[in-house]
Amino acid sequence: LSDCLACDSCMTSEEGARVFQQNQKEFFRVLNLNKKCDTSKHKVLAVSICPQSLPYFAAKFNLSVNEAAKRLCGFLKSLGVHYVFDTTIAADFSILESQREFVQRYQRRNQEEHALPMFASACPG
């Protein structure tokens, strides 16, 4: 999240404050606190893995993408992470929605002056 450009186009200010709290320093602080206290008092840690990161790890360590996913998940769990989520399906939904919007805009291009161009992007962070 340190790469977030804070463009505010993907979240409200309240959500932004929550995202700001989710950084590497806070992650390791919670991991260390969880190691020191009773498991009933642990803060739950969840990590999401974007689809672009897995091929990077696979290539870097000469693994298949599935093996890289398994190893990365195992590593994170060994650190104390409770849940690891793959966000591939969310990225797929985003692409499908962008596609749907583009088709609608393209079909309206002669009726609406501002139907095109359509600018779309995934968060660069």
pLDDT in tens, 24-46: 888 889 999 998 888 888 889 99
Asked whether 50 and 87 are in contact (CB, 8 A), the reply is yes
Round the CA-based radius of gyration of the chain to a whole number and report it: 19
Mean pLDDT of the chain: 83
- Give the residue from 92, 102, 100 showing the smallest Cα distance to 122: 92
Asked whether 48 and 82 are in contact (CB, 8 A), the reply is no
Residue showing tokens 């091929």? 55
Confidence class for position 14, pLDDT limits 50, 70, 90: low
Distance between CA atoms of residues 72 and 43, nearest Å: 21
**Residue 121 clears pLDDT 80, i.e. is over it:** no
Q: What percent of the chain has pLDDT over 70?
A: 80
pLDDT for position 83: 94
pLDDT digits (tens, 9 = 90+) for 66-79: 999 999 999 999 99
